[in-house]
Amino acid sequence: MASPQAPRDNAPAAAPQRIARHRFASALGLMLLSGCAGGDYPSLQRWPTPTPTSTPTPQAAGQIAAPPAPEQVHPHIAPGCDAQAADAIDADFRAALPATEAALKDASDSTPGTPAWSKGNIALASLQQIRARLAQVLAPAEEAYTADVLDHAQDDARDGPDQRPDGAKLAACHAHVAELAEQEDAQIDRLHARLPD
């Protein structure tokens, strides 16, 4: 009588499956590593130190830099009063004067509202705008001159204003700018009289 056979062990059948999974994981890892190695990534090498394109030339020993050239000073410039700026504005005023004269000459025989009358008004307004620029120079000049006179009233009464060069220079500058303003006002009043009301 034959002895009964023992039941077969099914555990060894699972071994090929585990081996296949390990091989798949290893192949996948190699693929990922090879993919990373193919990209353009910065190198880990040290970067070269940048060098300046030009180096300043050292000054020769004992050589002294030349001082800046002195600025040309207008004869009528004083602290708070800029006659040079006033002269530049007045030059613009006188340059615009002939065209304004011609426009007002045409407008003198016109009636209000006509093209010639409107052109004359526009020309006169442009001239008045230039005069307004001169007022921006005259205002601080008057303020500086008035303050100077008040601050030195006793000294000027005793010694005379001509004994203070700075005060005399400021007074001359103020008088120069104020005279330009009066001349421009006279021109504007004369031209405005030609414009029909």
144, 79 contact by CB (below 8 A)? yes
Q: Give the C-alpha separation, 58 to 185, whole Å.
A: 59
Query: What does the pLDDT look like over 22-43, one tens digit per residue?
Result: 565 565 555 555 555 555 555 5
State residue 186's pLDDT score: 97
The strand pairing partners of 78, in sequence order, are: 81
What value does the mean pLDDT of the chain take? 76
Q: How many C-beta atoms lie closer than 10 Å to residue 102's C-beta?
A: 13
Q: Give the C-alpha separation, 136 to 89, whole Å.
A: 10
89, 83 contact by CB (below 8 A)? no
Query: What does the pLDDT look like over 43-101, one tens digit per residue?
Result: 556 656 655 555 555 555 555 555 554 444 444 445 689 999 999 999 999 999 999 99
193, 147 contact by CB (below 8 A)? no
What residues contact residue 86 under an 8 Å CB cut-off, 6+ apart? Answer: 134, 137, 138, 141, 176, 177, 180
107, 116 contact by CB (below 8 A)? yes
Q: Give the C-alpha separation, 173 to 133, whole Å.
A: 17
Query: What does the pLDDT look like over 138-190, one tens digit per residue?
Result: 999 999 999 988 888 887 777 776 778 788 899 999 999 999 999 999 999 99
Query: What does the pLDDT look like over 124-138, one tens digit per residue?
Result: 999 999 999 999 999
State residue 64's pLDDT score: 57
State residue 99's pLDDT score: 95
